[in-house]
Structure 1
């Protein structure tokens, strides 16, 4: 429950971060104070000081020269909540970790993994500031490379923590025949990697404001491949710096991902997979379709904040179902059938109550 709660907080953090970016609030706090920054401006003078610091960066001078103090407070609060929520996640993970470890409640094998997640969480805070710093000197927005790295680390922490939580909730894998596992698991790993790459290209689309162009589907400017895609030099950087190319790649990666998930779903039916595996793949397939619909609506309606935030949450949920499906199909000694346990050479014994 503890790890799942922290995972839920990370999911909320990703959504808050997405709204912070969509409202162009991420550069409103121009300094990093991990301890004293817990408190927001408390007086009129404090607010004026914070606003004065924001007025020194290119985003204000080039994009928001007529912004009032009241408008500044609106974007400041989003970034403040984003940073405060990150601190709360750290406390929600670290304090129970040390408490449970001191009382011997954590299996010894899990301690190094949990400490690694704690270290990655601390690194995520530093990476977040490194991202913000990229937009304070010359740019009017943060680097899309650093934005993608920040999201990638958040999702890596989330997926790792979710895997550990699933392992504690369900220590034994599903009763899956080796042949079925051999068929399904490589396909699932492919989908996991595909999902990660699709999400990362979504981060590049966001960082380049690529969602505000070519708001049609399936064609882009009346063409399958837009005329300004794959035009930047050097070509290898074009997908990461050209918004048209980034959006083109992201949308077709998403289409391919949905097709791959549905193919896996059908394959599991033919492989006579365990019921829990089929249920996991049902959820995965359903979420893939929902996420595709959210992405399409976000594109066609030109990135309304609520829809875009839902699309970002959908990406995390889709990743969650991939992790769950991988966990259900892992190798190991399966759980006994529900209802009875068969002991070799002995009579049937009553079922063990589920906890």
Structure 2
């Protein structure tokens, strides 16, 4: 016969309680998320520096100083006087030297050579960091589920960028060319920003737990996300147009603002035959298109910002505000670049802020896609 028990006695106090398992969604797929994120952040910083160095290489007209593509042996610079003279002799055979830089001595050539060599060397370093990191995570089994393909995508884009870089340089070695083809420069720069944006998005994903992202995705802010997506595409188009401007030094063609040559529409905008070439090669028309696109981007960004400020989530509002502030800074720098005839420091700052703006727009888009949960009291 069982003895009586008090109604206040705790039932089963001596029984072993079952272990509560937390984070079931992340179990088995987590891997080394923090380590992977640190690796991607390093790649992001290196690609950002690569874009800046590429801009300086273009602004100093150094991109054609190395006339051969040697992915492996080219990692070593000229080591002897004879090596330097041989490299200089190759440069002396291309139109940029014969028609524009025939005044150069070996010492002058070395200055532009180091810019291009450093740019290519940084590309090799990025490839090495990617390969070592990917193989390390993959072989050790620390790669989170679903991240092998994403990591391979970054590597494939980087490999394509190297090939496109040479495709761009080779366009400037032909007869009558004093610099690389502007449309090839636009493709090269566009892919660089696509790589940077892809890495940034992956870093954002790894900054939050998988279960948190799955929950946040259910409450996506559709209107803010749609506007941020449009803003991102518009900004990318403006980056491509900026590359066309840089490719033909169109930023130095008209240095007055808000007019161009004292009028709204630049003179001689369609002087090149056939007409379609003016959209790629006429400095006045190319700069005009870049200006008008910049104004439209500012208007679109204002609409996106105002909509973003209506979000119920403070993190989303802050993300849209930060991107909008950067947009105004970029517009101001664009005007300054025009009025200083693309002065080196102003022009490169303009490119640096373009990188910042690009990432901040992506951040606003991510914040709308995966809103951060906030209590009623904030």
Q: Same fold (TM over 0.5)?
A: yes
Distance 1:267 1:330 in 2: 14
Kept in 1, the 8 Å contact 2:65–2:91? The answer is yes
Structure 2 CA distance for aligned equivalents of residues 152 and 305 of structure 1: 21
CA–CA separation in structure 2 for the residues paired with 1:230 and 1:329:
43
> Once the 2 structures are TM-superposed, how far is the Cα of residue 130 of structure 1 from its aligned partner?
1.0
Q: TM-score, normalised by structure 2?
A: 0.84
8 Å CA contact retained: 2:222, 2:369? no
Contact 1:192/1:319 (<8 A) preserved: yes
CA positional deviation for 1:339: 12
1:322 equivalenced with 2:343 (yes/no): no
> Comparing 136-145 with 254-263, which one deviates more in the overlay?
254-263
Correspondence for 1:244: 284
SS of match in other structure, 2:260: coil
Partner of 1:69: 106
* C-alpha distance in structure 1 between counterparts of 2:311 and 2:217, whole Å: 9
2:68 equivalent in structure 1 = 31
Q: Distance in 2 between matches of 1:34 and 1:92?
A: 16
Structure 1 residue 273: Cα displacement: 3.1
Q: Gaps spanning 5+ residues in structure 1: where?
A: 341-355
Structure 1 residues 259-288: Cα deviation after superposition (integer angstroms, max 9, x where no partner): 22122222222x243111111111101111
Q: 240, 254, 257: which is aligned to 1:217? A: 257
* In structure 1, C-alpha distance between the alignment counterparts of 2:363 and 2:89, rounded to whole Å: 48
1:14-53 equivalent positions in 2, closer than 5 A: 14-53=51-90
Structure 2: gaps spanning 5 or more residues: 1-37
Give 2:201's aligned residue: 163
> TM-score normalized by structure 1?
0.90
1:104 CA drift (Å): 1.8
Aligned residue for 1:115? 152
Once the two structures are TM-superposed, the CA of residue 233 in structure 1 deviates from its matched residue by 4.4
For 2:104 and 2:312, the matched residues in 1 are separated by 59
Contact 2:250/2:287 (CA < 8 Å) preserved in 1? yes
1:137 is displaced (CA, Å) by 2.0
Match of 2:134 in 1: 97
SS in 2 for 1:229: coil
Cα deviation, residue 175, structure 1: 6.0
Deviation at 1:148, TM superposition (A): 0.6
Asked whether the equivalents of residues 313 and 372 of structure 2 are also in contact (C-alpha less than 8 Å), the reply is: no
Residues 161-181 of structure 1 deviation map (CA, whole Å, 9 limit, x = unaligned): 111111001244596995x82
Q: State the Cα distance separating 1:327 from its structure 2 match.
A: 1.0
Residues in 2 aligned to 1:159 and 1:231: alpha-carbon distance in whole angstroms: 37
- CA shift at 1:74, angstroms? 0.5
Shift of 1:229: 2.1
Q: CA deviation at 1:253?
A: 1.0
After superposition, residues 1-355 of structure 1 pair within 5 angstroms as 1-138=38-175, 139-171=177-209, 172=212, 181-269=221-309, 271-330=310-369, 336-337=373-374
